[in-house]
Structures are given as structure tokens and as C-alpha cells.
């Protein structure tokens, strides 16, 4: 479903600024959303315009829940700027209990959209199709000013249409580098293997998704937005056409982290002069803020915006963040704490007591630093544990689906074999062939059942119920994003088997197989 959020804002615009009502004729959809799709969110612009957005969804169910991704590329030649590293992304707005999102512009900001926002009440003439070209020759300050002007206009004229978090209205800004690359790779719509490729999946070939250099593509000039196919998230021209400016400044890559020196601004994604072979989701360039005594602007540089919200939206959210912070890396967390644990079993509590009782300031500081370091290490360990638990549940579901298929195949062969034997054809060569095939399929199924049982028991013994329950919820969000929602019954069945084993410790292979046999 596509949501058009313009009418209320247009009415407000006319009421607040009657002097420009004649100029504020509603734009044709082709000027701002030439490729409408289910899930589009449309927000109004000044002067009768609009902008289409897509949800950039991320699994997450609490203030401190974020999502680990690998960004960058394993390429020695580009490692200094694009070295692969683990980063984390999270959404601003709640979307149910298990995911959060920001809105990301579906297309690059066009000339018409830029002019409408920056007009300051003196609307230009209704835009032509030529104004659907991406707006270029922008400095970083120009881009920030555009987002600021648009945010203020939305808050004055379309507040009811802005997404809200905890009662706080969203606002427009440039995307962070991690948000941008997460989106460019396909977000949770891409499988883990697809996400880590240089490019998002392009089944029809790159020329159908990206404007790059050469006569077979852009031919040396920017193209109208939305002419090509979108990426898995429904974002058009996320690679190629024009470079897109990121929120934060450039820093070098230092193996698994960014270097401390802060530089100029960053552009992402490549442009219409970038060679086809150089296109990649990790594409990242530093651009100086200034060219001589003026801001640096380029004919290949444009922008794409997101709509997000503050982190600490209220006093309640602040208290939740404080409570979440105290639990990060805590040994006393439910799945870390032994059943009969004493206060002295928690090294963090011991360090806190030692620091509090130490009369020496230097010693107190060292103990407090050690406590923080230990908490960080425990939190990192917990993140690794969570990812492993999620992978185990996913494996169990796929093995279960394989067992369901195996069991039905074996049953069908067994019926055919029995029918031939009962029909007096026990010694027939074809009957013996059926028996040989049945034996092979039975052996394969038995081996898969042993593997499933071993995997299930290891999952049940390695991870606590709370960890598994939470990772199950996140896994369901991921699979829905990848279009694999049909796996939910298999996940549910595997989770039920694991939970039952945790309670009674019974290895019920026959029952497990029977349960899978019933799956349709």
C-alpha cells in the first residue's frame, strides 16, 4: 500500500500562505514517484510537491538493541578508505515489538524538490519532467540546509503526517554512512551472503539498476531519477547517477575501525562518470569542504535524505537508557547468571566494591576503568552469543524443513514398495529397484535426523531460554524482510522442540520426526 500524505499539508499551506495558493498546484505523481510500489510513504513538500520514502527497517526491540552488519570491502587497494569492519545500525521509530525504522528517500532529491523547499514561500513555476533530474552542485552545507528547511516546513505544515517516536516528531537529515551502506546493500531484504557481496542482487544485469560511465549507460550525463530498477529495499539510483552526501565527515579505515582524524565530507555510491567495474556498495570518497575560498560543489554530487528521530525522546526514554546501560555486560543478566549465584560471583560487583572502598584515587580510577573494560568485553561476548544462537535456530528450521521433505519422500516410496510386494511382485527387478531407492532415502533421512537431533541438543544446552526467545523474534524479522516468511512454521516447530528438550531433557527423535512429517 502506498500512503499519500499530501492533502492535509497542502490545506495547511493554503491557510497559512494564501498569497501563494495559486502557485501551489499539486504535482503529478510522475514528478516525485515515477515507480510507485507497495510500502511507499509520501510526505508533502512546499509548493504542492511531495517526496516518496521507503522504510529502512532494522530488527530491534529496546533502546539499546542494535543490529551488527559488516560494511566495507576486502580489497587491499581500497582498504585505506573502505576496509571491511563491523558496524551497528538501528532505527528511530518503533514498528511493532520487534523492529524499528527510519524513512529513507526512495529517489535522489530532484531539482524540482530542492527548488520547492528552498523557495522560501515564493514558489517557482510548476516543474516540468526535466526537473526530475537529481539536484547537483551541492556543498555539504547546502545539503544540511535543505534538510533543515524541509524539517521546519514539515513540522509547521504537516506535523500530523510525520512519523513519531514516543510522541516526538521526526525530522529530515542526511543519512549516516552506516545507514546509507546498509540500505545500499539491501538491508534486511538481502540474505547475509547477498549483503556481503560488492553489489546488491542485479538479476537483469547492472545496466538495468545503475547509471555508470559509458555509452551503454549514462553516456556522460545525469539521468532522470527512477528510470531504472530499484534495489531490494525499493530504493532507486542508490548506486550511480550522482554521488550522495553522508552526514558525518571522512575518516580513514584502520583495519577493524575508523581512524581518529576527522577530515572533509563523504560521498557514497559512485556517479554517472564512475566505471562499471568500480561500482560497489562500499564506494566512499572524501571531498573537500572548500574549493579555494568557496564551498566545494560538483556536477556529480547530489543527496538523498532520511527522516529520523532523537534517541532520548522523553524522560521515560532517558530512564530506559540509563537502565539499559546498567545491564550492558552485566554478569547478573538472566542468561549469564548461575542459578545459585552470590553477589561475590559477579566480578563487576566485586570491582565496584573495591573501587568504592579504595582510599587511593589512582587505584580507584584504575579499578573503575577495569570494570568498564570488562563490561565491554562481556557485552561483545553476549553479542557473539546472540548471533550464534540465531544461526542455530535458523539451521534447525532448515534441517526441519529437509526432514519434512525426506519423511514424505520415504513414506511415498514405502507405500509403492509395499503395494508391489502385496501384489505378488516381490522378486520383480523393478520392485528391488524400489527397495534399493527406499533404503538409500531412509539412510539419508536417518542421517539428517541424527544431525537435527545433535544440533537441537547443542542449541538447547548452549543458550538460555531468554536468549533463544529474543533471537527467534529477530530471526523472524530478518526472514520476513528477505521474503522467507513461509519458514515461520518451521522456526516455530524447531523452537518448540528446543524448548521441550530444555524442560525435560528427553531425546525424542521419533516424535520430532513425526512432527516434521505432519508439516505441509
CA 37 to CA 447: how far, in whole Å? 45
Within this chain, do residues 61 and 209 fall inside the same structural domain, yes or no?
yes
Residue 334 has pLDDT above 60, yes or no: no
Question: Chain-wide mean pLDDT for the chain?
Answer: 89
Residue 300 has pLDDT above 90, yes or no: yes
- pLDDT band per the 50, 70, 90 thresholds, residue 30: very high
- pLDDT band per the 50, 70, 90 thresholds, residue 192: confident
Q: How confident is the model at residue 4, as a pLDDT? A: 53
Q: Is residue 456 part of a domain?
A: yes
The mean pLDDT of 231-246, rounded to a whole number, is: 98
> Of 4-8, 52-56, 304-308, 410-414, where does mean pLDDT reach its minimum?
4-8
3-class state of residue 189 by DSSP: helix
- pLDDT band per the 50, 70, 90 thresholds, residue 199: very high
The mean pLDDT of 168-187, rounded to a whole number, is: 97
Which of the listed ranges 33-37, 76-80, 390-394 does the model predict with the highest average pLDDT?
Answer: 33-37
Secondary structure (DSSP) of 36-67: --TT-EEEE-GGG-EEEEEEEEEE--STT--E
Q: What is the DSSP letter of 86?
A: E
pLDDT more than 70, % of the chain = 92
CA 270 to CA 276: how far, in whole Å? 10
pLDDT digits (tens, 9 = 90+) for 246-275: 999 999 999 888 999 999 999 999 999 999
Task: Tell me if the pTM is above 0.95.
Answer: no
Q: Is residue 317 part of a domain?
A: no
Q: How confident is the model at residue 62, as a pLDDT? A: 84
Secondary structure (DSSP) of 359-402: S-HHHHHHHHHHHHHHHHHHHHHHHHHHHHHHHHHHHHHHHHHH
Residue 9 has pLDDT above 90, yes or no: no
- pLDDT band per the 50, 70, 90 thresholds, residue 135: very high
Within this chain, do residues 38 and 149 fall inside the same structural domain, yes or no?
yes
> Of 112-126, 278-292, 316-330, where does mean pLDDT reach its minimum?
316-330
Within this chain, do residues 15 and 111 fall inside the same structural domain, yes or no?
yes
- pLDDT band per the 50, 70, 90 thresholds, residue 337: very low
- C-alpha grid cell, residue 268: 557514497
Residue 382 has pLDDT above 90, yes or no: no
Within this chain, do residues 30 and 119 fall inside the same structural domain, yes or no?
yes
Within this chain, do residues 284 and 399 fall inside the same structural domain, yes or no?
no
Give the chain's domain count: 2
Q: What is the DSSP letter of 24?
A: -
Q: Is residue 351 part of a domain?
A: no
Q: Is residue 392 part of a domain?
A: yes
Which of the listed ranges 73-77, 148-152, 445-449 does the model predict with the highest average pLDDT?
Answer: 148-152
Within this chain, do residues 55 and 195 fall inside the same structural domain, yes or no?
yes
User: Which residue range is the domain that position 298 belongs to?
Assistant: 3-308
Residue 17 has pLDDT above 50, yes or no: no
Within this chain, do residues 301 and 396 fall inside the same structural domain, yes or no?
no
Q: How confident is the model at residue 93, as a pLDDT? A: 96
> Of 292, 308, 324, which residue constitutes the final position of a domain?
308
Residue 81 has pLDDT above 80, yes or no: yes
More confident residue, 203 or 122: 203
pLDDT more than 90, % of the chain = 67
pLDDT digits (tens, 9 = 90+) for 388-425: 999 999 999 999 999 999 998 898 888 888 888 888 88
More confident residue, 118 or 346: 118
More confident residue, 414 or 214: 214
Q: How confident is the model at residue 376, as a pLDDT? A: 80
Residue 44 has pLDDT above 50, yes or no: yes
Q: How confident is the model at residue 126, as a pLDDT? A: 84
DSSP H helices, 119-234, are 140-157, 177-184, 192-195
Pairing of strands 257-258, 85-89: unpaired
Q: 2: which residues sit within 8 A by CB, 6+ positions away?
A: 33, 36, 37, 38, 39, 40, 41, 42
Q: 251: which residues sit within 8 A by CB, 6+ positions away?
A: 258, 259, 260, 261, 262, 263
Q: Is residue 344 part of a domain?
A: no
- pLDDT band per the 50, 70, 90 thresholds, residue 365: confident
Residue 7 has pLDDT above 70, yes or no: no
Helix and strand numbers (H, E) in the chain are 13, 19
Residue 18 has pLDDT above 70, yes or no: no
Within this chain, do residues 101 and 236 fall inside the same structural domain, yes or no?
yes
Within this chain, do residues 261 and 404 fall inside the same structural domain, yes or no?
no
CA 472 to CA 466: how far, in whole Å? 10
> Of 257, 278, 308, which residue constitutes the final position of a domain?
308
Q: Is residue 366 part of a domain?
A: no
CATH number at residue 98: 3.90.1580.10
> Of 308, 324, 344, which residue constitutes the final position of a domain?
308
Measure CA 28 to chain center. 31
Within this chain, do residues 394 and 303 fall inside the same structural domain, yes or no?
no
Output the CA–CA distances (angstroms, integers) from residue 230 to 52, 60, 226, in the order listed. Answer: 13, 25, 8
Q: How confident is the model at residue 335, as a pLDDT? A: 55
Within this chain, do residues 290 and 184 fall inside the same structural domain, yes or no?
yes
Q: How confident is the model at residue 332, as a pLDDT? A: 46
Within this chain, do residues 395 and 485 fall inside the same structural domain, yes or no?
yes
The mean pLDDT of 175-196, rounded to a whole number, is: 95
Residue 317 has pLDDT above 60, yes or no: yes
Q: Is residue 315 part of a domain?
A: no
More confident residue, 460 or 422: 460
Amino acid at each position: 500500500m502506498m500512503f499519500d500524505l499530501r492533502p492535509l499539508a497542502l490545506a495547511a499551506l493554503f491557510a497559512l500562505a494564501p498569497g501563494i495558493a495559486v502557485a501551489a498546484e499539486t504535482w503529478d505523481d510522475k514528478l516525485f514517484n515515477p515507480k510507485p510500489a507497495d510500502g511507499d510513504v509520501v510526505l508533502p513538500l512546499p509548493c504542492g510537491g511531495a517526496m516518496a520514502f521507503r522504510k529502512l527497517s532494522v530488527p530491534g526491540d529496546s533502546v539499546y538493541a542494535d543490529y551488527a552488519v559488516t560494511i566495507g570491502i576486502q580489497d587491499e587497494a581500497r582498504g585505506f578508505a573502505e576496509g571491511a569492519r563491523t558496524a551497528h545500525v538501528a532505527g528511530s521509530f518503533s514498528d511493532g515489538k520487534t523492529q524499528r525504522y527510519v524513512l529513507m528517500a526512495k529517489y535522489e532529491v530532484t531539482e524540482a524538490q530542492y527548488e520547492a523547499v528552498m523557495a522560501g514561500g515564493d514558489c517557482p513555476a510548476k516543474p516540468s519532467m526535466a526537473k526530475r533530474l537529481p539536484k547537483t552542485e551541492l556543498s555539504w552545507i547546502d545539503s544540511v540546509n535543505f534538510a533543515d528547511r524541509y524539517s521546519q516546513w514539515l513540522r509547521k505544515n504537516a506535523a500530523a503526517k510525520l512519523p513519531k517516536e514516543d510522541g516526538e516528531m521526526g525530522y529530515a537529515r542526511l543519512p549516516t554512512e552506516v545507514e546509507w551502506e546498509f540500505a545500499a546493500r539491501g538491508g534486511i531484504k538481502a540474505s547475509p551472503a547477498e549483503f556481503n557481496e560488492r553489489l546488491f542482487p542485479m538479476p537483469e544485469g547492472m545496466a538495468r539498476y545503475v547509471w555508470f560511465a559509458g555509452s551503454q549507460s549514462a553516456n556522460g550525463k545525469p539521468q532522470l531519477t527512477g528510470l531504472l530498477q530499484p534495489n531490494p529495499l525499493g530504493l532507486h539510483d542508490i548506486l550511480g547517477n550522482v554521488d550522495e552526501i553522508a552526514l558525518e565527515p571522512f575518516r580513514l579505515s584502520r583495519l577493524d575501525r575508523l581512524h581518529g582524524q576527522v577530515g572533509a565530507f563523504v560521498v557514497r555510491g559512485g556517479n554517472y562518470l564512475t566505471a562499471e567495474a568500480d561500482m560497489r556498495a562500499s564506494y566512499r570518497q572524501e571531498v573537500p569542504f572548500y574549493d579555494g575560498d568557496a564551498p566545494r560543489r560538483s556536477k556529480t554530487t547530489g543527496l538523498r535524505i532520511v527522516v529520523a528521530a532523537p534517541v532520548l525522546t522523553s524522560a521515560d526514554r532517558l530512564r530506559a537508557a540509563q537502565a539499559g546501560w546498567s545491564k550492558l555486560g552485566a554478569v547478573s543478566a538472566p542468561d549469564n547468571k548461575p542459578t545459585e549465584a552470590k553477589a561475590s560471583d559477579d566480578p563487576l560487583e566485586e570491582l565496584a566494591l573495591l573501587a568504592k572502598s579504595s582510599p587511593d584515587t589512582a587505584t580507584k580510577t584504575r579499578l573503575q576503568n577495569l570494570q568498564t573494560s570488562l563490561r565491554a568485553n562481556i557485552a561483545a561476548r553476549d553479542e557473539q552469543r546472540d548471533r550464534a544462537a540465531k544461526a542455530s535456530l535458523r539451521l534447525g528450521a532448515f534441517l526441519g524443513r529437509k526432514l519434512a521433505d525426506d519423511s514424505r519422500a520415504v513414506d511415498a516410496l514405502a507405500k509403492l514398495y509395499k503395494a508391489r510386494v502385496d501384489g505378488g511382485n516381490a522378486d520383480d527387478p523393478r520392485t528391488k529397484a524400489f527397495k534399493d531407492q527406499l533404503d538409500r532415502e531412509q539412510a539419508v533421512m536417518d542421517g539428517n535426523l541424527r544431525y537435527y537431533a545433535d544440533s537441537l541438543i547443542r542449541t538447547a544446552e548452549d543458550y538460555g531460554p531468554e536468549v533463544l526467545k529474543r533471537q527467534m523474534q529477530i530471526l523472524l524479522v530478518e526472514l520476513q524482510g528477505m521474503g522467507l516468511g513461509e519458514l515461520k512454521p518451521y522456526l516455530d516447530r524447531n523452537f518448540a522442540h528446543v524448548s521441550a528438550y530444555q524442560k525435560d531433557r528427553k531425546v525424542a527423535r521419533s516424535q520430532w520426526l513425526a512432527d516434521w512429517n505432519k508439516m505441509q
